[in-house]
Structure formats: C-alpha cells, structure tokens
A and B are shown apart, each in its own frame.
Chain A
Amino acid sequence: MDFTFTEEQLALRESVSRFLMNEAAPELLREIWETGGGRSPELRAKIAAQGITGLSVPEAYGGLGLGDVDWALITEELGYYAIPDSLADTAYVATGLLCAMPESASLREQWLRRIADGTARVSIVHPVNPWVADAHLADMVLVFHAGDDGELELRAMSAAELQHSAMTSIDASRRLSTLTQPRGASPPLLGGARAQELADATVDRAAVAEAGHLVGLAQRMLDLSVDYAAQRRQFGKPIGSFQAVKHHLADVVTRIEFARPVLYRAALALQRGERHRSALVSHAKLACADAAWTAARKAIQVHGASGYTWEVDLQMFMKRAWVLDAAWGDRAFHKARLGEALLRDDAPLGPAATLY
C-alpha cells in the first residue's frame, strides 16, 4: 500500500510545469484568444516537441505508454496554465479510445503515430456533450451517435464530412461547435454493446481529465489570490493580513487538499480497470469542480473590483473553471452515476469494505 507518486512521476510533472510556465504565459494566451481559430500551431508544436502529445501513446507507436495516473498529474498542469487547446482530448482521451478499439476496427496504425508526433488533432463527439470542442481544426472526429435502432454507433469522420456551426463560449479558449449532420454518410466502425462500452470508457477518461484541469485551475486561482492579497494594501496593511481574507483562502486550500487524492484514486481505478471506476471518476469530477468553483468565488472576492475586470488575469482561469464544470457530464450526470453505485443493496460501504 503506497498511495503516493514515484520520483519519476513527480519529475515529469515538474518538467511539464516548467515548460508551460515559460511557454504559456497569460499574455500569450490572450494573444491566442484573439486569433480566429483560437489555437496556436506554434504552441502545439512546442508541446509535441516536449513529448506531451505522445505520453499515453504506446511505445510501439512512438509514444511513452504512460498510464492514467501520470496523466492526472499532467492535466493538473494543463489546467494550472489554462492551456487554450483541447490537448487532453487528443493525447489522452482519443488515444485511449483508439487503443481500446478492437483490431477489426483499428485506426491505430493510421493515427497513433501522428498523435504522438503532434501532427494530428482528434475531436470526440459524445451524447454527454451537446457541443464538440475543436471540431473546426480536427484531422479526425470520432463520433458516438445513436443509430436508427437507438443504439450507439461509433464512426470516424473527417471534419469536412461533418456539418457544424460555431458556438461562442464565454471562455474564449473554448472553440465549440454544434453538429447538424452527426452521422454523415460513412458506415459505423462499431455498434451495439461494444460501442456503448467504449463510449462509457471515453466519458470516464474525459471526466477524469476535466477533473485534473479543474483542480489545477483551483490551485492557480489560489496562487493568484495569495499574490494579490500580499501586495494589495488597505488600512495601511496588506489585505492578506486580515482574517476575513485569510479564511477565504484557507477554505480553498482545504477544498484542494481533499479533491486531489480523489482525482488520483479515480485515475488509478481507470488504470487498474476496477469495477467501481465510473463512480470514482464521478466523485473526482464533483470534488474537483467543487474545489474550482469555490476557488473562483473566493478568488474574485479577494481580488475585489479588479477581479471583475477583463484586464486582470484571474478571469481567464475563472471562466475556464466555470465552463468545465459541465463538460463531460454535468453535476447531475455525475451525482446520478455515483448515487446509483452507492444506493444499491450490494454496495460495499464502510471502513475496510468501501467502494474504494
């Protein structure tokens, strides 16, 4: 029993953090916001050169073959720096989906090497999301959609095949569209129970990735607020010396402290293919979203009026935290999944017998 990270895992996280600190400063993110596509090919190329796009691609396809637990740490960093790119969708979620597809419907040869070297962007359409992220730039779109019999089918489509129209998010780093022709003309790769299984696994991976982003965002908003509270002076003192301000920020620390282990546990459950993994993922998404929303609320309060401005960077992280709450399953969705696992006759509960 050792519920901690290895030195290598922590070192990887640290190197990703340093890289993003230098390459993804808020000023740069604002510049990217203003571009039409909302994405920076240069930043994406640098991220690929760091090997981040290949982290979970199997070694046979030119990646590092890392697992869900490693990714949990990486998504925290992607959240912390509010990377304006649905990077985890391609490099983690779609990669996992491609690896899980049966040989008969394999797209692995074709796509995994390109994902690893950073030249392919994959978007995922799933019924849990009414919108799709980054479809306008996708080299391939994996589409889960109900067929005529009501059962899910999985298709691989080109962006050109899909008819979509852009939707504007309040988070300018999100580039969303709604699909008008989600099935196109191409035949499904898979249907029936297998497609449903892959769709469920995709929600789990994507939700745990969003949980990581959210707790990373919470930490960033906390750090920004601490800096602000130490510098801003009123009544002749830094406002961070006042208990009312301190207590706001201490609450954020507490939420984060008790969200992170839940994130790590959920990632481990995915990696080990545990029976109750979906409930654990839902718990992680709920806990991390709660930490992020609490952090946003407390952070803007501590920042005072300046937190309500466009100019101060806090807005970038708050908006992302607000919108990711409902991405890959809103709270109602995740509470329902958790409740179902918990309120069964045979649910293992209590010390030493828990779902965990």
Chain B
Amino acid sequence: MDLDFTPQQEAFRAEVRAWLRDHVPQRPLASYDTGEGFEQHRAWEAKLAAGGYSSVIWPTELGGRGSDLIEWLIFEEEYYAADAPMRVNQNGILLLGPTLMEFGTAEQKARFLPRMARCDDMWAQGWSEPNAGSDMANISGRAIRDGDEYVINGQKTWSTRAVFANWLFGLFRSDPQSNRHHGLSYLLVPLDARGVTIRPIKALNGKQAFAEVFFDDVRVSVANRIGEEGQGWNVAMATAGFERGLLLRSPARFQRTAKRLVELYRRHQASADRDPSIRDGVLKAWMDAEAYNLASYHTVGRLLKGGRVGAESSTNKIFWSELDLQMHETAMRILGPRAELIDDPEVHDWLEGFLFAQAGPIYAGTNEIQRNIIAERVLGLPKS
C-alpha cells in the first residue's frame, strides 16, 4: 500500500488545478435544465474540451488525455474542489462514449466522439419505455430494416435532457419476432429527424429535466447502428457495469457535499444541536463520503493490477445514492423552517440537491435491481 502520488500524478494534479483556477466561471451557471443554463453549460463543456479535459480517460486522438483511473480520480477531486459546473453531457460521455470506443467503427468514432467531447452534440438516452423500466428487456419500440435504413416506431421515456439534446442513443427491437434480450439493435437517432416528437416531463423541481420521445416512421441510416443487428443488448451491457458503477459518480462529488454539510452545521450549530441526531448525521455523512472515496481508490488499484469490476458496480450505486439522500436530509433538518424557501441563497442548492437525491435510488437501475444483482451474481443466490 502506498498513498503517495507519483511526481507525474502530482504534476497532473497541479496542471488541472491551475487550468481550473484560470477557467472555472466566476459566477455559478444557471440550471442546465433551463434553456439559458443549458447554453451556458454547453459553452463550458466546449471550453473544457479545448483544454483537453472533457474526458481525461479517453485516448488523446479522440479528445481525451489517455489518463489512467488514478488520474481520473485526481481530475475529479480537483474539479469538485474548484466548484466547477455540473457536467451536462455525462450521459453521452459515460454511457455512449465507451460503447462507441468498444463497438463503433472507425468512421463512427471519428464522426461522433470529438463532437461529443466538445458538446457540439448533446446526447439523450433512449432505454426506458412506458412498459420497460426495471424490466428493460421488455422493450417494444421497433426499428424495422428497409434497405439501408431502419424505420423506427414507438416511444421512449424518462429520457434525461432530451428537451435540449439533438441526438438520442437507444435500444430498439429490430426483429419483430424476437422477445426479451434478443433481436434488439443499438441505434443513434438524430432528434431533428422527421417523425420525432419530444414531450417534456417536468421533474420534482418544476424544470424540464427529462422527456418522452415519440417515433413515428422515423428513418435512420444503418450507418447509425452500433455493433451487429440484433446484438444491441450485449453492446449496451458490455460497458454498463463499469461506467455506471465506477465513473457515473466520482467520490469527490460527495466529499464536496460532505464538506459543505460540515460547514453548514458549524454555522448553525447552536440551533442544530437542539436535535442531537443532527450532529450524528453530519458525522455519518462525512464518514460515508470518505468510505466511498477509499473504496474507489481500492477498486481502481485493483483494476490497474488487472482485476475486473465485480460487486462494486452495484454496491457503489446503492451506497452513493443512499449517502446523497442522507446528506441532503441532514442539511434540510439543519435549515429547519427555512428549508422550504427555494430562493433563500443558503437554502437553494441544498433544496435542489435534496429533490435530485430522491431520484438517486431510482435512476441508473433502481437500488432494488442492484440488490438483486448483488444477491444473484455476487452471493450466488437462486433467481426468483
């Protein structure tokens, strides 16, 4: 065990820190779930990409830095320590990016990845359907081959940021006789294509955070298919565990929130201590954020030695989503009667975060699904 960073890692940290100090916007950006905020975030993503920081683990020729996972953790630490803006195109970068790298043709990579890194293209995901949520293999949206095109009909839902996106990646049933995981194809669909209708869905905070997407004889070229026809499920799943389990939520994000919670508590300690469980909640938040950080370094160390992601992809999801809830609940209790005042500057981010934290145990595979995965794949218990 060696907790010291190498001179190269320290140099990387210093470089990232200096760049962020010079470039992070002085004033916080508006919410990316508003038109104005979305454009601000897109401009920030373009700036990040120009600096080479859009996704440091991508190869340099695709706009990344070729960093290993330790450097990724360092980048994330510096990014959150600098209070840099939330990342608006994470779905593309984390979910589609790695899939393209593994299964995309050279032409597809060159066509999509650099534009994704710069946020020239904004990607929405098209997995869930009204009858395919936790049971994702129940997808019924169809993409029927017609010459060099697929003709898509159906509906996707809960498509995050689809209101502002111009592309969607998703799974569609290309073999109408098939069922479950078979006969699905992974397609990239331009959202300005004829026959696409986007109906925004307001989230808990009243903003258009996601949307329903309707497809009515939408034609896309077969060049927009990733991997083989009918192999979409395997293509989508190949990178899912790694990206969702490790990269989706870096520990630095929660360490920053834990730090803010400690500061909030200390500012209001006299009133907070009227309820002794609040102090307990603050300590727990800090401990769990640090535990998540340590677990991440442990996992990354194992992966660098040739290990594979195992239970972490599910235990991480459960742990950080419950941690995020616990931290925000504690903040609400410290803020007391003020906690409902959304325009109060000290309240605003906590309240928005509290609302968003409610979604954590639901998106990216509900925590119930994650518990099933742990029980069946890690503990070897029989399927229901």
Query: Which A residues between 218 and 250 are near B, CB-CB below 8 angstroms?
Result: 222, 226, 229-230, 237-238, 240-243, 245-247, 249-250
Report the stretch among B2-10, B148-156, B161-169 that lies at the interface.
B2-10
Chain B residue at smallest Cβ distance from A345: B266
| Chain B residues within an 8 Å CB radius of A185 | none
Known A246-B376, A250-B370, A350-B81; contact A241-B288, beta-carbon cutoff 8 A: no
**Complex Cα–Cα for A287 and B286 (A):** 12
Whether A343 pairs with B262 at a CB distance below 8 angstroms is yes
Contacts of B298 in A (CB 8 A): 3-4, 260-261, 264
Which of A237, A242, A254, A268 gathers the greatest number of chain B CB atoms within 10 Å? A254
| Bound-state Cα–Cα, A3 to B280, Å | 28
Taking a contact as CB atoms under 8 Å apart, the answer to whether A247 and B371 are in contact is yes
Q: B59 in the interface, Cβ–Cβ < 8 Å?
A: no
Interface residues of A, dominant DSSP: helix
Proximity bits, B49-83, A CB within 8 Å = 1, else 0:
00000000000000000000010001011101100
Q: Which residues of A contact B294 (CB under 8 A)?
A: 3, 261-262, 264-265, 356
Residues of B near A264 (CB, < 8 A) are 1, 294, 298
Partner of B381, one of A5, A246, A338: A246
B280: contacting residue among A240, A262, A335, A347, CB under 8 A: A335
Is B302 interfacial (CB 8 A cutoff)? yes
Q: A258-B288, A339-B279 known; A226 and B380 CB under 8 Å?
A: yes
Whether A350 pairs with B283 at a CB distance below 8 angstroms is no
CA distance A240 to B374 in the complex (A): 12
Contact indicator A342/B255 (Cβ below 8 Å): no
Q: Is A349 an interface residue (CB 8 A)?
A: yes
A352 near B81 with CB under 8 A, answer yes
Using A1-B5, A5-B1, A283-B287 as known contacts, say yes or no to A258 and B315 having CB atoms under 8 A apart: yes
CB of A257 within 8 A of chain B?
Answer: yes
A173 to chain B, nearest CB (A): 27
Residues of B contacting A253 with CB < 8 Å? 311, 315, 374, 378-379
Q: Mark B350-384, 1 if CB is under 8 A from A, else 0.
A: 00000000000000000010111011101111111
Question: Is B252 interfacial (CB-CB < 8 Å)?
Answer: yes
Is A316 an interface residue when CB atoms closer than 8 A count as contact? no
- Which residues from B are CB-within-8-Å of A338? 283, 287
Q: Tell me whether B13 is interfacial, beta carbon within 8 Å.
A: yes
Whether the pair A257, B372 counts as a contact (CB closer than 8 A) is no
Contact B297 A251 (CB under 8 A): no
Known A-B contacts A261-B298, A287-B291; the reply to A246 vs B375 at CB < 8 A is yes
Question: Which residues of chain B are within 8 angstroms of A249 by Cβ–Cβ distance?
Answer: 374-375, 379, 381
Question: Which residue of B3, B76, B286 contacts A3 across the interface (Cβ within 8 Å)?
Answer: B3
Asked whether B249 is an interface residue with its Cβ less than 8 Å from the other chain, the reply is no
- B15-73 residues with Cβ-Cβ distance < 8 A to A are 70
Instruction: Assess the A349–B1 pair: CB atoms within 8 A.
Output: no
Minimum CB–CB distance for B293 against chain A, Å: 7
Contact across chains for B375 and A354 when beta carbons are under 8 A apart: no
Contact call A241/B291, Cβ cutoff below 8 A:
no
Partner of A4, one of B280, B301, B384: B301
Chain A 30-42 interface 0/1 with B at a Cβ cutoff of 8 Å (1 = within)? 0000000000000
Q: Are B70 and A250 in contact (CB under 8 A)?
A: no
Contact A351 B81 (CB under 8 A): yes
B214 within 8 A of A: no
Complex Cα distance A286/B312, Å?
A: 21
A250-B370, A351-B76 known; A229-B381 Cβ under 8 A: yes
Q: Kindly supply a per-residue 1/0 record for chain A positions 118-144, scoring 1 wherever the CB is within 8 Å of any chain B CB and 0 otherwise.
A: 000000000000000000000000000
> Is A105 an interface residue, CB under 8 A from the partner?
no
B292 in contact (CB, < 8 A): yes
> Which residues of chain B have C-beta atoms less than 8 A from A250's C-beta?
314, 318, 370-372, 374-375, 379
Using A3-B297, A240-B382, A265-B294 as known contacts, say yes or no to A342 and B286 having CB atoms under 8 A apart.
Answer: yes
Q: Are B3 and A268 in contact (CB under 8 A)?
A: yes
A44 to B2, CA, bound (A): 34
Please judge, given known A-B contacts A240-B381, A240-B382, A356-B294, whether A350 and B376 are in contact too, CB under 8 Å. no
Q: Does B258 contact A (CB under 8 A)?
A: yes
Distance of A1 Cα from B258 Cα, bound (Å): 24
Determine whether B338 belongs to the interface, using a CB cutoff of 8 Å to chain A: no
Measured CB to CB, the nearest residue on chain B to A241 is B382
**Chain A positions near chain B (C-beta within 8 angstroms):** 1-5, 69, 222, 226, 229-230, 237-238, 240-243, 245-247, 249-251, 253-254, 257-262, 264-265, 268, 272, 283, 286-287, 335, 338-339, 342-343, 347, 349-356
A-B contact pairs, 8 of them (CB 8 A): A1-B297, A222-B379, A250-B314, A254-B315, A258-B315, A264-B1, A283-B291, A349-B258
**Chain B residues in the interface with A (C-beta under 8 A):** 1-6, 9, 13, 70, 74, 76-78, 80-81, 251-252, 255-256, 258-259, 262, 265-266, 279-280, 282-283, 286-288, 290-295, 297-298, 300-302, 304-305, 311-312, 314-315, 318-319, 368, 370-372, 374-376, 378-384
